[in-house]
Amino acid sequence: MHLYHYYNEAVGPFANLSELENKEANRILQKIKKESPLVKPKSGVTKQLPNTEAA
């Protein structure tokens, strides 16, 4: 069996959003959703991570 991971060269392979603060992870996730033809939100459902940073 051969597994392949295709990725946008400008973005690079796999990014671990879990290592980021929620605010930064949400920003990047929204950018990915907006720019990627492969990532489509489910019928208008969007979910943001809670902002756990101090105000």
Q: Which residue has the tokens 């973005």?
A: 11
Q: How far apart are CA 20 and CA 26, in angstroms?
A: 9
Quote the DSSP letter at residue 1. -
Q: Mind listing the pLDDT tens digit for each residue in 1-24? A: 887 777 778 767 777 888 889 999
Q: Mind listing the pLDDT tens digit for each residue in 21-36? A: 999 989 988 888 888 7
Q: Is 50 left (phi over 0), alpha (psi -120 to 50) or beta?
A: beta
Q: Which DSSP string do the residues of 4-54 spell out, in sequence order?
A: -----TTT-S---GGGS-HHHHHHHHHHHHHH-TT---STT--------S-
pTM of the complete model beyond 0.85: no
